[in-house]
Structure 1
Amino acid sequence: MDNYNLDNLNIVLEDETLRSESSRPATGKEQRTSTSSARIIYDVAGTKPKGRPAADASSVKREVRCCKKPHTIGTWNVRTMNQGKLDVVKGEMSRINIDILGISELKWTGMGHFISDDYHIFYCGQENHGRNGVAIIVNKRVANSVLGYNLKNDRIISIRLLGKPINVTVIQVYAPTVGADDEEIEDFYVSLQQLVDAIPKKDTIVTRGDWNAKVESKSVTGITGNFGLGDRNEAGDRLLGFCQNSSLFITNTCFQQSKRRLYK
């Protein structure tokens, strides 16, 4: 599905210009220097938090402004959300006041949207196999701002939020691991670029998830800061290329992270 939908409602308005319809793409120099208009990409993975079963990544909170109130967002690689673990996730969202939570490695089959207590869950998995899978969960404070959602595939999902003066598109990803074949990695980035290109040009884009990539601590002007971890690998090169093409900045490289967390 390439179009946003909410009960079959198309929420890309007629007068909105998509990113792919701009007059010309920015040059590499323009993309590197135009930090004022750069979209934001969040990416955190970590060690298993104590007392949180089947969770591989600790969530990280950031604030974005939607309408007049700040909203806190996070991302979590849960490894699986079967066997009642949705209740664990909702409990953690409530405990640390997360309004929008992206989930990686969901391992649910099918795709859709449902409501559980005060939370709206948008999810996308494989049709017949409980592998991969992504989801975005929002609490009732945010639910009324959701304009629509895009169930791209079992590795990419997004929702669009009503904001003032501009709307916000939130993307959650679960990238292929380093051991994946080249075709799978290529398909992932092609699909992700297609989704980004189909987002209205004026939207603020916030992308989070498990990228399974290392971008090292060396700063790349307009794309990373000085606090990436590890030695840059081939997956890191691919991630940096995507960020440059899409005017995205990896914000988690701008500050020293806790020692118990691992940046991927």
Structure 2
Amino acid sequence: MTLTKLRICTFNARSLCSQARFAEFQAEVDKIKHDIIGIAEVKRRGSGRLNLPNDAVLLYAGHDNKTAEGVGFYVSPHLKSRIAGFNAISPRVAELLLYVDRQDRMLRLIQVYAPTSTHSDNVYNAFLDDVSTLLARRQRGQRFSQTIIMGDFNAKIGMQQRNERALGRFGFGVRNERGERLADFCNN
């Protein structure tokens, strides 16, 4: 069976490190029509997979020694058999691969949580390098039907500028410095 329609969204959880916060997250998730939720600010230690009581799966990437930042994916029960892989690149970048058909084509989802403007340019550049490295990496024989990059970019893109091919015309507001850097990254 080929996957033809998926409901994919992103959610800033602000923390899933305690039972109380996880219960709040679960209550919010139950209100969302979704197949996959990319999560920013997971704030769990290490990387791993949790098989949840509702039969969903949480895949996450965080720091080994602290509960800060973190990204992950919440995968609905009907899709967990299609998970082809999860790659925790850093506490700010992770990849989920899902089989979309019987020919082993995959959907590639990349979840990000970018550093805020309070972080140095070096930290932001390291984040962009992680995304670039992941985009350039492909295992032998992998065929991606589509790649989707989603998450919290902590940037204001604003309105599309002249000659930008990677950004759509539905931006809003004024672009900030991080938005400019993100737009340059997307256009290259």
Q: Which residue number in structure 1 is paired with residue 181 of structure 2?
A: 238
The residue matched to 1:186 in structure 2 has which SS?
A: helix
1:93-112 CA-to-partner distances (Å, cap 9, x unmatched) read 33322110111111111111
The residue matched to 1:236 in structure 2 has which SS?
A: helix
Distance 1:163 1:242 in 2: 28
The residue matched to 2:57 in structure 1 has which SS?
A: strand
CA shift at 1:155, angstroms? 0.4
Equivalent pairs, count: 180
Distance 2:72 2:154 in 1: 17
Deviates more, 1:144-153 or 1:195-204: 195-204
Cα distance change of structure 1 residues 211 and 244 upon mapping to structure 2, 3 Å threshold: same
Q: Which residue number in structure 2 is paired with residue 67 of structure 1?
A: 2
CA shift at 1:90, angstroms? 2.8
Distance 1:157 1:68 in 2: 22
Picking from 154, 157, 172, the partner of 1:215 is 157
- Contact 1:126–1:133, Cα closer than 8 Å, also in 2: yes
Distance 1:244 1:203 in 2: 21
1:40-66 CA-to-partner distances (Å, cap 9, x unmatched) read xxxxxxxxxxxxxxxxxxxxxxxxxx9
- Contact 1:214–1:228, Cα closer than 8 Å, also in 2: no
Aligned: 1:116 with 2:52: yes
The residue matched to 2:109 in structure 1 has which SS?
A: strand
CA shift at 1:201, angstroms? 5.9
Task: Give the alignment of 1:120-135 within 5 angstroms.
Answer: 120-135=57-72
Q: Which residue number in structure 1 is paired with residue 118 of structure 2?
A: 179
Aligned: 1:78 with 2:17: no
Q: Which residue number in structure 2 is paired with residue 91 of structure 1?
A: 27
1:184-240 CA-to-partner distances (Å, cap 9, x unmatched) read 111111111101111446441011111011111235542222322232122112211
Q: Which residue number in structure 1 is paired with residue 168 of structure 2?
A: 225
CA shift at 1:69, angstroms? 4.3
Distance 2:143 2:59 in 1: 23
Distance 2:181 2:2 in 1: 34
* Identity, % of aligned positions: 29
Any unmatched runs of 5+ in structure 1?
1-65, 246-264
Counterpart amino acid of residue 92 in structure 1: E
Any unmatched runs of 5+ in structure 2?
none
Q: Which residue number in structure 2 is paired with residue 196 of structure 1?
A: 135
CA shift at 1:157, angstroms? 0.8
Distance 2:185 2:143 in 1: 17
Task: Determine which structure has greater relative contact order: mean sequence separation of CA pairs < 8 Å that are 6+ residues apart, divided by chain length.
Answer: 1
- Contact 1:161–1:168, Cα closer than 8 Å, also in 2: yes
Counterpart amino acid of residue 242 in structure 1: F
The residue matched to 2:10 in structure 1 has which SS?
A: strand
The CA RMSD over aligned residues, in Å, is 1.9
Q: Which residue number in structure 2 is paired with residue 12 of structure 1?
A: none
Distance 1:180 1:125 in 2: 18
